[in-house]
Amino acid sequence: MIDLHMHSRYSDDGEYTPSELVEKCERAGVRLMSVTDHNCAKANEEAQRAAEERGIRYIPGIEIDCTYENINFHVLGYGIDYRDSGFEAVEKNVADQSAQASLERLEKTRASGFSRITEGDMLALSENSYWQRCWTGEMFAEVLLAMPEYAEHPLLKPYRPGGARSDNPYVNFYWDYYSQGKPCYAKTVYPTMEETLDTIHKGRGAAVLAHPGVNLKGRESLLEGIMGLGIDGIEAFSSYHSPEQAEKFYRAAKEHHVFATCGSDYHGKTKPSIVIGQHGCTVPEGEVEKALERMGL
């Protein structure tokens, strides 16, 4: 089994340590893996060491937030030199903006009908996090859903057990209220996709467009322009893609002569319905591995 997209505690929305992820991959039968944290390459040293001890092939990775045509996208970097200064700069850019953006999210959350949530509530949740001053939409969901005074709040009902958005309640709350264009969105200035590709390539990595079925939804025409920037691959097989979407993006990868990858986007409690290895890959794993080898990964 292959899984090239998962997140550790070095992501602002990840739950487990890199070593714990490796242990989970071993139990799941994964033999080729990558930890791809949001805007941070810190997990790779620990993950690589733990994977080697268990006989799992490991590819260093990262997932970088970026923009194209004023729309937020994610680009995965594989085979990176995770000690390269470019990745430190990516992390610093996000960290420097996190505190102010988090406070803005808090104020917008309070204005949306949750006036009792406080900075102290958020700090209590994030005190053991690598990103202590970065409070994501998922974290706001976790705090609000646990507050007794909001047990019957109508805005939260879809995210409680049995609700329409209860399959992944935390991340669904993020998508509904904190993502780009939503009421509690706080802008973070991310690098352009061109700059991100340059960072990954200078860091000796290959750049892959992450879960395009999510970020390109309703904007599929942008794919041609993105491919012209020098993307090396497409994450065709993802827990977010239907079989039809996966086939479409797999064909797109073939048509543009780039490789296709597969990843679950496992986070732990943030996305409880997603398990390691859940990406629906329909092509032989040997084909994926050969494509990676051709890229020197």
Query: How confident is the model over 121-143, as a mean pLDDT?
Result: 93
Predicted pLDDT at 128: 86
Q: Are strands 57-58 and 61-68 parallel, antiparallel or unpaired?
A: unpaired
List pLDDT tens digits, range 89-117: 999 999 999 999 999 999 999 999 999 99
Predicted pLDDT at 296: 87
Q: Tell which residue, 88, 8, 90, has the closest CA to residue 47.
A: 8
Residue 130 pLDDT greater than 90, yes or no: yes
Predicted pLDDT at 53: 97
DSSP 46: H
**Secondary structure (DSSP) of 61-122:** EEEEEEEETTEEEEEEEES--TT-HHHHHHHHHHHHHHHHHHHHHHHHHHHTT-TT--HHHH
Query: How confident is the model over 20-35, as a mean pLDDT?
Result: 97
Query: How confident is the model over 161-166, as a mean pLDDT?
Result: 97
Measured CA to CA, the distance from residue 63 to residue 173 in angstroms comes to 21
Residue 23 pLDDT greater than 90, yes or no: yes
Measured CA to CA, the distance from residue 153 to residue 171 in angstroms comes to 18
Residue 77 pLDDT greater than 90, yes or no: yes
Residue 206 pLDDT greater than 90, yes or no: yes
List pLDDT tens digits, range 235-277: 999 999 999 999 999 999 999 999 999 999 999 988 999 999 9
Structural contact between residues 274 and 267, judged by C-beta atoms closer than 8 angstroms: yes
pLDDT band at 291 (very low <50, low <70, confident <90, very high): confident
List pLDDT tens digits, range 167-189: 999 999 999 999 999 999 999 99
Query: Quick one: CA torsion of 123, 275, 168, 279, rounded to 10 degrees?
Result: 120
